Amino acid sequence: MATIIDGKALAAKIRLQAKERAERLRAQGVEPGLAVVLVGDDPASKTYVRAKHRDCEECGIVSFDYALPAETTEDELLGLIQRLNGDAAVAGILVQMPLPAHIDAERVIQAIDPEKDVDGFHPMNLGKLVRGLPGLRPCTPAGIMRMLEEYGIDPHGKRAVMVGRSSIVGKPMSLMLLAADATITIAHSSTAELASACRDADILVVATGQARMVRRDWVKPGAVVVDVGMDRDENGKLCGDVAYDEVEPLAEAITPVPGGVGPMTRAMLMENVMYAAERQVAARRA
Ligand code: GUN
């Protein structure tokens, strides 16, 4: 029987801490604010954006909603970001991905002031992560590190396997595990003998977007398994990238879907907004 890593409960604790930090800033006359920019009307993105506004409300963070039509041009979006960069009421800027195909997401990410880049996607923040400097960290891997810490799972000296190499999860996750002294393998769709690579892992993090891809025989007994997936199985039921029912009995600890990584990602966004807001206040006073 594995320890079930309760991301939902830990996320609630992190939101409460963010709320306390927001109250401290407000007592100093500063309202922390997050601008959430959505281009187009992708239903999943709309759901995520609504959740972010709700989280802000709970934490006492002012949220500014920019719902732009799908036809918005890249120049119009870049213009909005310039304005938000210069707006002292906006501590954090989040542009919901994916953007419509006619907009270059890379240009948009690079237009965001790195001090307001609460997604941690800007090359400056990713560079700080590479160099081991403090900075805004991508929310999903930061949330996973926090879960490991909370459950007393120290990556030091462990073999960690990251399945997936995205800039949002796989690459930053690998760097964070490396910074915590794990020996890290990054596996992906072109990895030969993927199941066998996974079986080496003491800590296995899976972010492939393939429903129930990781099966029982992919996992070493006693491994810690972190499932970043948010998929649908063949019956349309929400599931992860890990076949939970097969893997849970042999894992030491495992994150459920839902209730694992997802709530932590959202909570770390609130923490990032407070980190950004506090830094901006300190910079203005310096
Ligand atoms: N779309 C899916 N995940 C994310 C995320 O973490 N941040 C943003 N901005 N968009 C996303």
CA of 58 relative to ligand 1 center, distance in Å: 20
User: 207: Cβ below 6 Å to ligand 1?
Assistant: no
How confident is residue 71, by pLDDT bands cut at 50, 70 and 90?
very high
148 and 247 part of one domain: yes
Residues above pLDDT 90, as percent of the chain: 99
Q: What is the pLDDT of residue 90?
A: 98
Q: What is the CA 168 to chain-centroid distance, rounded?
A: 7
User: 272: Cβ below 6 Å to ligand 1?
Assistant: no
- Residues 152-181 have a mean pLDDT of 98
Mutation probe of ligand 1 site: the residue of 34, 77, 94, 96 with most atoms within 8 A of C-beta = 96
Structural domain including 231 reads 139-261
pLDDT higher than 90, residue 272:
yes
247 and 165 part of one domain: yes
- Which ligand 1 atom minimizes the distance to the CA of 168? 6
Residue 159 lies in a domain: yes
Residue 282 lies in a domain: no
User: 117: Cβ below 6 Å to ligand 1?
Assistant: no
Q: Is 52 a catalytic residue?
A: yes
**For atom 2 of ligand 1, which residue has the closest CA?**
97
User: 178: Cβ below 6 Å to ligand 1?
Assistant: no
Backbone φ and ψ for 149, nearest 5 degrees, come out as -60, -50
157 and 231 part of one domain: yes
CATH number at residue 46: 3.40.50.10860
99 and 192 part of one domain: no
pLDDT higher than 90, residue 277:
yes
Q: pLDDT tens digit string along 104-163?
A: 999 999 999 999 999 999 999 999 999 999 999 999 999 999 999 999 999 999 999 999
81 and 195 part of one domain: no
Mean pLDDT of the chain: 98
- Tell me how many domains the chain contains: 2
251 and 159 part of one domain: yes
- Which ligand 1 atom minimizes the distance to the CA of 140? 6
73 and 153 part of one domain: no
Q: Higher confidence at residue 183 or residue 286?
A: 183
Residues above pLDDT 70, as percent of the chain: 100
Count of CB atoms within 10 A of residue 237's CB? 9
CA of 139 relative to ligand 1 center, distance in Å: 9
Residue 12 lies in a domain: no
Q: What is the pLDDT of residue 77?
A: 99
Domain boundary among 113, 130, 148: 113
210 and 248 part of one domain: yes
Which DSSP string corresponds to the chain?
-PEE--HHHHHHHHHHHHHHHHHHHHHTT---EEEEEEES--HHHHHHHHHHHHHHHHHT-EEEEEEE-TT--HHHHHHHHHHHHT-TT-SEEEEPSSPPTTS-HHHHHHHS-GGGBTT--SHHHHHHHHHT------HHHHHHHHHHHHTT---TT-EEEEE---TTTHHHHHHHHHHTT-EEEEE-TT-TTHHHHHHT-SEEEE----TT-B-GGGS-TT-EEEE---EE-TTS-EE-SB-HHHHGGG-SEE--SSSSHHHHHHHHHHHHHHHHHHHHHHHHH-
94 and 148 part of one domain: no
Residue 122 lies in a domain: no
Residue 97 lies in a domain: yes
- Which ligand 1 atom minimizes the distance to the CA of 95? 9
Q: Is 171 a catalytic residue?
A: no
Q: What is the pLDDT of residue 1?
A: 83
- Residues 242-260 have a mean pLDDT of 98
Residue 134 lies in a domain: no
Q: What is the pLDDT of residue 47?
A: 97
Residue 132 lies in a domain: no
CATH number at residue 189: 3.40.50.720
152 and 76 part of one domain: no
Domain boundary among 78, 113, 148: 113
Residue 178 lies in a domain: yes
**For atom 3 of ligand 1, which residue has the closest CA?**
97
Out of 96, 113, 158, 241, pick the active-site residue.
Answer: 96
pLDDT higher than 90, residue 21:
yes
User: 277: Cβ below 6 Å to ligand 1?
Assistant: no
